[in-house]
Structure 1
Amino acid sequence: MVTGLITALIASICYGSASVLEAVAARRAEGLKVFTQPLYLMGLGLDGVAWVASLVALQFLTLFTVQALIAGSLIVTVLLAKMVFSTRLGTSTWWAMGLLVAGLVVIALATGEQPATGAPRLLAPVLGAVMLLLTVALLVLYRRRVPLAMSILAGLAASVSALAARGLELGGSLWQILMQPLLWVLCVAGVVAMASYTRALEHGSVGAMTAVFTVIEVVIPGVAGMLLLGDASRPGWEVAKFVAIALSLLACVWLAKQPGADPVHEAQSTHEDEEKMAGRGT
């Protein structure tokens, strides 16, 4: 279980760092040009490391635990924004981060080992059908400026990816792993989530879009993991775990609404203020 907690923490740090890099890149270019930005490619590399780390964590921990711990990446995003862009963190921001840290600690203490039960037979075809619908939605909405819809779409795709990763069996040979339909569902879902989230960052607030994305990717796969895959908490910790998850999600939304959660807008506002002051000086 310790291995799962460590890898989930690594995933959280990498995801939070990637969000800052990708947000800056999304403001420097638009459409497909974003994907050629060096900062975006660096962020994509960190996303890849985080993705692998989350796959490892899912071999030891339940979906709800892994997804909730990864939600802590928002703290990394806010702290990096303060260091890189000199954003100001108000009292409410520090309180939100403290609440989120406390919630994540309780979740880690309440987590149980991942159950040995395998994925239901219908999981792969159902997730494949859902992924097909989400891919069509991405193609239809991509050219429109609908950041909220794209953030929701990214959260749903990330949920599919998490469920597919949870049901994936990594104990066989490489060929056996490659032959599993869930692996390909996972890969397609990851691409759709990445493209949707990037598009949302182009036209929406980084903090707000991340909050929507985070809540969806924690709640949906977490509930599905309990109902379909038998995920559970440590005996006697059930209430504490769900209270901690609720507080953590509340802290995520609260934190995302703070100015420090939107590093690009903060940097732009500071630059505009400097230009106004310079203009007055002349």
Structure 2
Amino acid sequence: MLLGMICALGSAVCFGTASVLQAVAARATAPGSGSGVDTVLLMRVLRQWRYLVGLALDGLGFALELVALRSLPIYAVGAALAASLAVTAVVASRVLRVRLSGVEWAAVGVVCGGLAMLGLSSGAEGDETGSLALRLGTLCVAAGVLGLGALAGQLPGRARAAALGLGAGIGFGVVEVAVRLVDDVSPGALVTNPAAYAVLLGGGAAFLLLTSALQRGSVTAATAGMVIGETLGPALVGVIWLGDRTRPGMAPLAVAGFVLAVLGALALARFGEAPAADVGERPTGSSSSAGRA
């Protein structure tokens, strides 16, 4: 349990720091095709060193997330990952000199308090391995994320950003659930397990949508959608179908901690992206600085 919570928090630190680096790189890159599933944009940001360092941190964070998901309920891990926005806010305030208001510092405290409550009340992960229908369902949802991204790319302004962020959050949530459904990592079992493909498809689709959402559109709307998508659905799946529970008599404390951590993260949604203007970069091929949406 303790190791799982340490890994979950370590994962949040990695993801939160990576967000600053990746968002700066995304805003310093010329627009791609304009689609919600924008592979052109992804190829361009991969030329930015900050984005590559962010990807390395994402890889480390994902490894820590895998360890956490093997010993903690999904709701605890999901709340910890949403709390990466608190890390992003603190990193942005120190590295990029972004000013945090008193309310935002209070939100950081609320996130930390919510996670502490979850740490005290969380039980061990559920012992259910999930049905074949659930495994197939995660793969279908992962494929649906790509479809949602394609449709979201046609929406205007804030609606586009919110839809892309929600789609990215659902993709990351699919990964959280699918990892729990991969109980045998031998090559033969992986090839025949739909959840293994859901991990790859859901994670890849989420990165595509999130990169497009950060590159243009309302950052607050995109990040809020992502937080909701990656926490609520997976938490319900864990409780209803995978047997996740709290310690005896501590369900109210766990619910309160989860709600506080998510609400605190939503209050910090603007830190889903750090402005490229803060590091003095201009988008490649553009004559104007990329400011905050």
TM-score (structure 1 length as normaliser): 0.87
The SS at the match of 1:36 is coil
Instruction: Report what 1:76 is aligned to.
Output: 87
Q: CA–CA distance in 1 between the matches of 2:91 and 2:67?
A: 25
Q: Which runs of 5+ in 1 are unaligned?
A: 272-282
Equivalent residues in 2 for 1:160-171 (5 A)? 160-170=174-184
Displacement of 1:174: 4.3
Deviation at 1:168, TM superposition (A): 1.3
In structure 2, how many angstroms separate the alpha carbons of the residues matched to 1:174 and 1:222? 28
1:148-202 Cα deviation digits (max 9, x unpaired): 21111101111111111121114x5344345422111111100001110111101
In the other structure, the counterpart of 1:280 is none
* Cα distance per residue 1:73-128 (max 9 Å; x no partner): 11110111111111112211111111111011000111100122211221111122
Moved more, 114-123 or 207-216: 207-216
Q: Does the 8 Å contact 2:166/2:228 carry over to 1?
A: no
Q: Which amino acid aligns with 2:177?
A: L
Q: Which residue is equivalent to 2:211?
A: 198
TM-score, normalised to structure 2's length? Answer: 0.84
The question of 1:110 aligning with 2:124 is answered no
1:8 match: 8
- The equivalent of 2:68 in structure 1 is 57
- CA-based RMSD of the aligned residues comes to 2.2
Larger radius of gyration: 1
- Verify the 8 A CA contact 2:145 2:206 in the aligned structure 1: no
C-alpha distance in structure 1 between counterparts of 2:15 and 2:83, whole Å: 9
| Aligned residue number for residue 246 of structure 1 | 259
Q: Which amino acid aligns with 2:228?
A: V
Once the two structures are TM-superposed, the CA of residue 254 in structure 1 deviates from its matched residue by 1.6
Tell me which amino acid in the other structure corresponds to 1:8.
A
Q: Is the 8 A contact 1:157 1:190 kept in 2?
A: yes
- Mind listing any 5+ residue stretches in structure 2 that lack a counterpart? 33-40, 283-293
Q: Select 1:216's aligned residue among 191, 210, 229.
A: 229
Which amino acid in 1 is paired with 2:139? G
Report what 2:138 is aligned to: 127
**Structure-2 separation of matches of 1:41 and 1:144:** 29
Q: 1:14 to 1:238 in 2, by over 3 A?
A: same
Deviation for aligned residue 1:142 = 4.3
CA distance in 2, matches of 1:116, 1:157: 24
Q: CA deviation at 1:130?
A: 1.9
- Does structure 1 residue 184 correspond to structure 2 residue 197? yes
Counterpart in the other structure of 2:239: 226
**One-letter amino acid of the structure 1 residue matched with residue 20 of structure 2:** V
Letter in structure 2 aligned against 1:155: G
- Structure 1 261/95 Cα, relative in aligned 2: closer, same or farther at 3 Å? farther
2:128 and 2:241 in contact (8 A); partners too: no
CA deviation digits over 1:15-61, x for unaligned, max 9?
A: 00111011101101132222322211211121111112111111101
- Match in the other structure for 2:22: 22
Instruction: Indicate the residue corresponding to 1:277 in structure 2.
Output: none
Give the whole-Å Cα distance in 2 for the aligned partners of 1:231 and 1:264. 39
Report the Cα offset of residue 144 of structure 1. 6.2
